[in-house]
Structure 1
């Protein structure tokens, strides 16, 4: 199906005045699909017809495929004040999303949508929330079932869970994947997975075959939240027995199947996964005495060979003033932004901008204002999609 075909099939059902019929809807659709999200949200007030077109999921899909929006930095700022979620853009182009419920934790992000949960609740009662920051929409989703086959009973106090948000391009649907594992580590049946497909009307959690056996066993833990790239969710799993070892568990969102990927060989113990311009990448910080370089390996031919290629090496040797500040446990490669720059968070106050074309490295202190320990920094593309259609009936 070509972009916009779904919308054109709906034109016959739209009520239009004679004056509105003079302007072809497919032309209006094409114009809207090339405008910024900020402009389109303002245009919703022009007329009921414009509002209907802008809120149509087919326009959101076409708008995303055309990549109208440039990736930006999104800051998640928690506040203890009882405020509704607020989204704003400051003069420097930074996007701020203020969440009034500070106890909520980000579980995953995909195509501009965010998924939150309450980490300190028992998983029997932990709510899930889907958020579109730019539309300032929040939808509470159905919780995973407390009982049912296969294991686990989510009410078990030693049961842990990691959620991920992904997109199935074959059906144009979003899915939330929950991986549950038993802290008792009783055997190969100590983990399972469930999938929740977002759509109109009533949806429900479905059990799927869990990750490969021995993936998450004794002395294993999930390292960071999952990363969505190349149509799959990826968890970095760390084993701490004798020495630290890593492996990557992936979930193909379309096929609903788990698999294993072995990370590239490296000596450092400090690493994490990142979505780098739509590709799966692993960032590793290393060097002798001090952390003096950051290596970024990108997976090439994901659908075939799944080969890792060392794409970038960010040398920190010339930044003497940073050597005492860089630690492997607090650096974070955020993503690939416009002008081919990779943003790297080094501490809560210091940032690197690495130009992939020129190899130049910029170091900025206090580049992002009002940043504190609780503020999260995300690579954000934005989405026009209205998540109101995912509300439970």
Structure 2
């Protein structure tokens, strides 16, 4: 009797590994789609059927939507050495404290962060003009082909990185402006890199850029709804020094559009910063009296600015935002107790008006983005493994 029980138990154990074969493919896909990236990378080695599911572009897109970003983490590119130019490191930090939680890589060369889309970071080496796409969540790096547009008079092209929704492809748009005394544009050269082809293509006709009437405000761009967005102001004597227009570059049509931003008349002397509030564009206005947040929302088929928050200003808020309009720094928003904004290695609580220094992180040169995870670059590309934490 004892031996029969043991035989039954062994038989049941031998069947258990094959029970996954009876799970419907749709249910298995849904289960895998909510798992972390590191788990999915290991599960690719379980069997061919699991690997085919995880490597499917449709699954990669589904997983990205279900795991959009980790709101408690930042990915920061930090300069090394006393001057900040002796190398760099790509570091994962806690958004609340800036405390280091992991290191993606270290390099003796100085790289710059040109942009982020989903989990991909576009990095640039100023001396060699080398560009890489990096997925920090899976520690993969893709070296891009050389851009056909070279720097002109010491000024390199401007690179804009994002995702084209219609073609379902990642794009890098390189734009070079040649001007006479930097006033009137003389020629625009444009090249576009697509991740699916891994090649650059010259756009002979350029883009519909009207830079005679508008001057883009220096600062980072924000990718939302298949387009890159900046703040801009009108050019000419007597014009407002503050941004008054939103400039958008659509990645599918590769065309620019211009639209007005809220007048915010009560905050006549306010500074204005662009940022992302969830999946929507938002503008943070700071004056000596109030702080306001306007959100671009879709109503009746059209997009319009809606006042999302209004509160009293504070001296700390003025010192952080209003007096630093010359600083080129990304503004990031996080949910929390009333919501808070990360700017210049400090956090601003919009409900209480309090400003706090994020830990003791005092690197002189730092560029940061929200940390997100995806399987992009996991398969189908000749990538380099960054698990050694060093970039060659």
When normalised by structure 2's length, the TM-score is: 0.73
- Residues 169-200 of structure 1: per-residue CA shift (max 9 Å, x gap): 2222111112221243474543343321111x
Structure-2 separation of matches of 1:381 and 1:341: 23
- In 1, the alpha carbon distance for the partners of 2:168 and 2:262 equals 32
- Residue of structure 2 aligned with 1:382, choices 360, 363, 373: 373
Structure 1 Cα separation of the partners of residues 285 and 103 of structure 2: 29
Partner of 1:363: 354
Segments of structure 2 that go 5 or more residues without pairing to the other structure are 1-16, 384-392
Q: Name the counterpart of 2:187.
A: 190
SS of 1:134's partner is coil
Match of 2:129 in 1: 126
**Mapped partners of 2:329, 2:160: distance in 1:** 19
Q: Give, in whole Å, the separation in 2 of the partners of 1:26 and 1:316.
A: 52
Partner of 2:284: 283
Q: What is the TM-score with the length of structure 1 in the denominator?
A: 0.73
* Counterpart secondary structure, 2:375: coil
Does 2:274 correspond to 1:273? Answer: yes
| 8 Å contact kept, 1:72–1:94 | no
Decide whether the 8 Å contact of 2:43 with 2:50 is kept in 1.
Answer: yes
Q: Distance in 1 between matches of 2:272 and 2:156?
A: 23
Question: Structure 1: which 5+ residue stretches go unaligned?
Answer: 1-16, 147-153, 355-359
Aligned-partner Cα distance in 2 for 1:333–1:303: 31
Q: Quick check: which has more Rg, 1 or 2? A: 2
Look up the match of 1:344: 341
Aligned to 2:75: 75
Aligned to 2:157, what secondary structure does the other structure show? Answer: strand
Residue 190 of structure 1: SS of its match in structure 2?
strand
Distance 1:177 1:98, change over 3 A: same
Change (3 A) 1:311 1:142: same
Could you say which residue in structure 2 is the equivalent of 1:136? Answer: 139
- Which of 209, 216, 227 is matched with 1:212 structurally? 209
**What CA distance in whole angstroms lies between the structure 2 residues aligned with 1:137 and 1:255?**
29
Distance 1:314 1:96 in 2: 36
